[in-house]
Structure 1
Amino acid sequence: MLASAMNRKVLAILLVGVGCLLVATLYKMETLSEFVKQIRTQSIGNTLPLPSPMVAGAEVKPTPAKLLKTHDEQIQAGDKLHQMLLKDPNEYKCPDVKYIKNKMEGAWKYCGDATFALKKPCLVYSFGINYDFTFDDALGNLGCDVYSFDPSMKTKEHRRNPNVMFYPTGLSGFDNDTFEPKLDSYVKKKTTWKIRTLKTLMGELGHSDRTIDLLKIDIETSEWPAVRNIIDTGMHRQVKQFLVEWHIFATYPAKETFEQLIRILQDLKDAGFRSFDKNPHVPNLKWEKFNLQSDFGYVNIKFSS
C-alpha cells in the first residue's frame, strides 16, 4: 500500500512537471511568434521588416538576410556598405544631368536624357520636404503633377500651387495612422504620424495604374523599410527614376541589420535600377559613431510602359 501511494505521488509530480514544461514551451512559441511579427512591422529604428515570399508578384529572395550577431560580421557588413554607398562607381552614364539646388543643402540631380526625360503628364512623388519646396516647385513648373509628403512639418494638407499638392503623410514599409517616430533633430517631442507604403498611398490617391516618372525619398533612415516594401510588392516596376538619400546613423539602423541593408541595395540593382549620380557625404568610420550618408540618382533600365 505504501509503495503504491509513493508511486502515485511520483507519477503526480512527473505529470505536473510535464505540464509545466508544455506550458513553458507554448509560451516561448507565442513569444517567438510575437517577436517575428514585430520584426515584420517595426520601423527601421530597431530592425527591418523582413521580405515576405508570399507577396504576389514580389521579386524577393527565397530567404531573408540574417541578423548579424557577432562583432566581426557586423564590421564586415559595415565595410561592404561603405563600399557600396560611397566608393562604387556609377552604373549608367546619363548625358543630360539636371540640377535643382535646394535652399538648405546641396542639390538634387535627375536624368534628363531621351529615355528618362520628364514630359507632361509626368508624375512626381517627393518624400521629405522639411519646409523646402524648391525641388517640388521646379518640377511643378515643368508641368509635372507633384505630390509632396512630410509628416514632420507643422503643415496641413493643401494645394501649394496648381501643380503641387502637399500631404502630411510619411512613407515606410507598413501602414499606420498613429505611428510614433523616434525623437531626434526633426522630432523634438512625442507625436504621432500617418504613414503609408507606396502601394497604399498610390491607391488612396487614385494612381494605382500610373507611372511615377520620378520618385524622390529623403526620410532619415525610413528609406530602408520603404524601399524594401517597394521591391517586395513589385511597385518598383512603376518607377522610372529614383532619387534617394541613404542614411546609416550610429545607433540606427541597428548594426545587426546591416546584411539586410546590403540585400536591399542588391535587390534594387536586380530590379533594374542603375545609379547615374552619387554624392557621398563625409563618413565617420569609428565603429561607435559609424555614420554613412550618400545621395543617389537611379534610373530603371527595366522599365517598360
Structure 2
Amino acid sequence: MASIWKRHPRYSILLLVILLATCFVLVPPGSYNEPSLHRMSFDGGAIEQRLATSEIFYRKALQDRQALLKRFGPTPEDVENFPDHDKPYTIWNFFPAAFNCPYEVRHLGTLADGGKWVCGLSKLEREPDCIIYSFGISGDSTFEAELLQDTNHCKIWGYDFSVTDFTDDIPNSEKWRTNFQPYGLAGKDSPGTTNSPPMFSLQSLMNLNGHDHIDLLKIDIEGWEFETLEELIKPYLSSGKPLPFAQLQLEIHVWDMPFAKFLKWWEMLEAAGLRPFWTEPNLVYVDYAKATPSLTEYSFINIRGNNVLTRPEKPRHPHGAYA
C-alpha cells in the first residue's frame, strides 16, 4: 500500500476522497457514531491522509449546517443574519471554520484589525518560487512585513488604489522582495487604460506578472469580494480546473446581504475546493461602529490541485533536512 502512495500520490488521494464521499452518501445525516469521530486521529500520516481526515470532519459540519438551517429556517430565505435575542445564532454559526490546516497555523501581523491567520508558513518558506498577492493594504503592512521577516525568498505583489505604497512597516532592506501597484481587484478588467482607479481581474494581473500560481492570496476589498470571487471562480468550476492559489485570507463584509444570497455564494467557494480553517470576527468594527459583527476574517485552504499545501511532502534526510 505504501508503494502505491509513493508511485501514484495524486491518484491515491483521489481514490481515498471518492471512497470517503461514498461513505457519506451511504450513511444518512444524523447517523454518525460520534465517539468514533472523536477517536479519529489527525496527527501524523501523509499529507493525503491528513487532508482526507479533515474532509471527513468538514462533511460532518455540512450536515450540521443543514440541521441548523432546518431548525431556524426551514428555508434559507427564512434565516436572518443577526436575529433578535429569541433566536440564539448569527449568520457565522452556519459557516464554522471546520477544516484542519494540515500544517502549523500562525497569526501574522498586528493583533488588531489587519493581521491574518496563515496555514503552513514553514511550507511556503521551503518553496523555491514563493509568490504572495495582497489586495487591500490601506495603512497597515504589518502582515506583509511579517511574511517577509519569516521567509527568506517569498515575494509579495501588493495592490491598493487608496494608497501609494506599502507602509514603513516593511524595512528598506526587504523592499526588493515587494512590488506595489495602485490597482484595484475586480471580477473583470476596467475598459480602456485611463479609468481611475484601474481595476484588474486576478487572472489578468497574474498574466501581467508571468505567474501561473499563487501560494498565498490576501483579499480585503471592502465588500467587493462577492462579485470579484464569483467572477474569478466561475471559469474554474466550468472547466474543472483547480483554483490557482493554495490558500486565501479573506475579510468578508456581509453587511445587509440576505442569508440566502450569502449561502449560495459560500457554497460556490466550497464547490471550488475552498475549506475554511480559521475564522475571527472583526470586533474592532463592532466597537467602532456599534454595529452587528458583519465583518469577519476567514482563512481558507484550497484542497484541489497540486499546490504547496496539498502536494506530497519530500522525504527527510536522517538529520532532519529535506531532500
TM-score above 0.5: yes
Asked if the contact 2:101–2:119 (Cα under 8 Å) also holds between the matched residues in 1, the reply is no
Match of 1:139 in 2: 147
Match of 1:226 in 2: 228
Match of 1:204 in 2: 208
2:260 counterpart of 1:296: no
Asked if the contact 2:185–2:200 (Cα under 8 Å) also holds between the matched residues in 1, the reply is yes
* CA 273–295 in structure 1, closer or farther in 2 if over 3 Å, else same: same
Match of 2:277 in 1: 276
Deviation at 1:87, TM superposition (A): 5.6
The answer to which structure, 1 or 2, has the higher relative contact order (CA under 8 A, 6+ apart) is 1
One-letter code aligned to 1:153: V
The structure that has the greater radius of gyration is 1
2:171 counterpart of 1:167: no
Quote the Cα distance in structure 1 between the aligned partners of 2:80 and 2:124: 33
Quote the Cα distance in structure 1 between the aligned partners of 2:262 and 2:76: 14
Match of 2:159 in 1: 149
Match of 2:96 in 1: 88
Query: For 1:119, what is the secondary structure of its paired residue?
Result: coil
Asked if the contact 2:214–2:244 (Cα under 8 Å) also holds between the matched residues in 1, the reply is yes
* CA 267–104 in structure 1, closer or farther in 2 if over 3 Å, else same: same
* Superposed CA offset, 1:151-187 (max 9, x none): 111459xx981111001011111211589xxxxxxxx
Which among 110, 113, 119 is matched to residue 102 of structure 1? Answer: 110
Which among 78, 83, 96 is matched to residue 81 of structure 2? Answer: 78
Deviation at 1:132, TM superposition (A): 1.9
Match of 1:176 in 2: 190
Quote the Cα distance in structure 2 between the aligned partners of 1:118 and 1:247: 33
* CA 270–225 in structure 1, closer or farther in 2 if over 3 Å, else same: same
Asked if the contact 1:116–1:299 (Cα under 8 Å) also holds between the matched residues in 2, the reply is no
Match of 2:120 in 1: 112
One-letter code aligned to 2:269: L
Match of 1:66 in 2: none
Match of 2:264 in 1: 263
Deviation at 1:302, TM superposition (A): 1.3
Asked if the contact 2:109–2:116 (Cα under 8 Å) also holds between the matched residues in 1, the reply is yes
* CA 105–116 in structure 1, closer or farther in 2 if over 3 Å, else same: same
The TM-score, its normalising length taken from structure 2, stands at 0.56
Task: Write 1 or 2 for the structure with the bigger share of strand.
Answer: 1
Quote the Cα distance in structure 2 between the aligned partners of 1:196 and 1:101: 26
Correspondence list, 1:62-73, <5 A: none
* Superposed CA offset, 1:198-257 (max 9, x none): 1112112222xx21000000111011111111211228621111110000224xx5x4xx
Quote the Cα distance in structure 2 between the aligned partners of 1:83 and 1:113: 30
Task: Write 1 or 2 for the structure with the bigger share of helix.
Answer: 2
Which among 124, 129, 140 is matched to residue 137 of structure 2? Answer: 129
* CA 263–138 in structure 1, closer or farther in 2 if over 3 Å, else same: same
Query: For 2:81, what is the secondary structure of its paired residue?
Result: helix
Query: For 1:278, what is the secondary structure of its paired residue?
Result: strand
Unaligned runs of at least 5 residues, structure 1: 1-71, 180-190
Quote the Cα distance in structure 2 between the aligned partners of 1:83 and 1:236: 28
Unaligned runs of at least 5 residues, structure 2: 1-74, 84-88, 167-171, 308-323
Q: How many residues get paired?
A: 211
- What CA RMSD, in Å, does the superposition of the two structures yield over aligned residues? 3.5
Match of 2:245 in 1: 239
Quote the Cα distance in structure 2 between the aligned partners of 1:197 and 1:292: 25
Quote the Cα distance in structure 2 between the aligned partners of 1:233 and 1:85: 30
Asked if the contact 2:184–2:197 (Cα under 8 Å) also holds between the matched residues in 1, the reply is yes
Quote the Cα distance in structure 2 between the aligned partners of 1:304 and 1:79: 39
Residue identity over aligned pairs, in percent, reads 24
